[in-house]
Structure formats: C-alpha cells, structure tokens
Chains A and B, each alone.
Chain A
C-alpha cells in the first residue's frame, strides 16, 4: 500500500478481554516499531523489529503484551487480559533498513477498555 495501515482504527473492549492490533508496514520496509500514546502524552516505545533479527522488546510494559511479525510484513500487537490503564492510541511505524530515512507512521488504533 501507499502508507502504513493499522486496523482497527478504533477498538472498545471489556476489561479482561484479549485484543489484537494489526499493522501493515510500507512494502520493503524492514524496520517496524510499535508505540503507545496515552492521552496528552508522548510516544512510549514498546517494541522494534528489524528484518529477521531478534526484536527489541525492552519497552513492553508487562507480560500481557506481546508482538509478532511475519517476515518483513504484517505485525500484530496482542494485549491479554486488558486493563483500563491499557486505554491509549497504539501507533505503528516502519522504515527502511539502511540509509538516512524517516519512519512513516500509521494513523493508530485507539483502544478503549471499559
């Protein structure tokens, strides 16, 4: 596609349920990032994938959070047993492997846990 695509754009879930968020990066982009952004706050790094290398999971806040990526394409972020504190916008970005190049962001998934 032309840009980074995230789905769903909005998700309302009940506390305790699991949710899965999807990110389709720009074709050919080997690097993929997930961020969490709470209302009125900055970008909180969650996880980084780069090609077939082991992902950098240092930003995942708890073991309820996990992310997978199939090769250099789609990534899913899974939150198990959601809590109200998980309510936020989840942003995905992708960039090329080498060279001075920006990361392109999707529009985000707004997650609301009720």
Chain B
C-alpha cells in the first residue's frame, strides 16, 4: 500500500463529472477491501467494500473495482457532487493467526468544483 503520514494527493473534478480514485495495496493475502470517506473534522466512515472473490461491486453512485493481479483497487464516483468533497482512504484486510488486521492506504483528497 501507499505510505502513511504523507501529504495527501489531490484530485480535482468538476461537479457532475465522474471521479476515479486509485489505490495500490501491498498484501497478496488480503481478502477484503474497504473504501472510507473522511469529511472535515470527522472520523473516516465506511462507503463500500469488496471481497477478494469479486472484481466489481456497485453501490449508490459508487463502484469499487478490484484487480488482484496487479494489487490495485479503485473507487468510481458517478456524477460527483459538492458533498463528495472529502478524503478517501482504501483499506485492505487480512487474517493473521490472531484475527483481522486492517491496513490503510495514504488517502486521496477529492475536491469538487462547482
């Protein structure tokens, strides 16, 4: 995955356009992936998830794509709205002997221009 603690890359899109946010994950044993949205002043919140036996999952205006061959995850937001402006984090989950372990990517800031 991406290094943590770094300055956030920014994706700027026009209101109404589609947004694509990308994430590279690190562990080929990861079996579950999540996208989180963090609005200003709040903790990250779940948007959508996908299991490793799937390559695509759709929600309301959001789609997550998983490419296990290259260990890549993407989040697509259709018809981006001002309320979508936030920081987006991907997370990968794998199971060690003790239980679930979730690791977060570095995040991307999405800015929606009116």
Q: Give chain A's interface residues, CB within 8 Å of chain B.
A: 4, 30-31, 33, 35-36, 38, 40-45, 48, 50-51, 53, 56, 91, 93, 95-108
The answer to whether B107 and A48 touch across the interface, beta carbons within 8 angstroms, is no
Bound form: Cα–Cα A27–B34 in Å: 22
The answer to whether B43 and A40 touch across the interface, beta carbons within 8 angstroms, is no
Q: Sort A-B residue pairs by CB-CB distance and give the 3 closest, nearest first.
A: A105-B43, A97-B99, A53-B98
The answer to whether B43 and A106 touch across the interface, beta carbons within 8 angstroms, is yes
Instruction: Determine whether B58 belongs to the interface, using a CB cutoff of 8 Å to chain A.
Output: no
The answer to whether B100 and A98 touch across the interface, beta carbons within 8 angstroms, is yes
Instruction: Determine whether B104 belongs to the interface, using a CB cutoff of 8 Å to chain A.
Output: yes
Asked if A33 meets B99 with Cβ closer than 8 Å, knowing A38-B5, A102-B34, A105-B43, the reply is no
Residues of B within 8 A of A53 (CB): 97-99
In the complex, which residue of chain A has the Cβ closest to the Cβ of B104?
A43
Return A75 CB to nearest CB of chain B, in Å: 15
Return B4 CB to nearest CB of chain A, in Å: 5
Residues of B within 8 A of A100 (CB): 31-32, 49, 51, 93
The answer to whether A51 and B98 touch across the interface, beta carbons within 8 angstroms, is yes
How many B residues touch A, CB cutoff 8 Å? 34
Known: A93-B43, A103-B102. 10 other contacts (CB 8 A): A4-B43, A42-B8, A45-B104, A98-B95, A100-B51, A103-B34, A104-B46, A106-B43, A107-B43, A108-B43
Residues of A within 8 A of B107 (CB): 42-43
Bound form: Cα–Cα A31–B100 in Å: 7
Return B34 CB to nearest CB of chain A, in Å: 5
Return B51 CB to nearest CB of chain A, in Å: 6
B5-22 contacts to A (CB < 8 Å): 5-8
Residues of B within 8 A of A44 (CB): 4-5
The answer to whether B103 and A45 touch across the interface, beta carbons within 8 angstroms, is yes
Partner of A42, one of B46, B100, B106: B106
Return B11 CB to nearest CB of chain A, in Å: 14
Instruction: Determine whether B45 belongs to the interface, using a CB cutoff of 8 Å to chain A.
Output: yes
Bound form: Cα–Cα A24–B42 in Å: 17
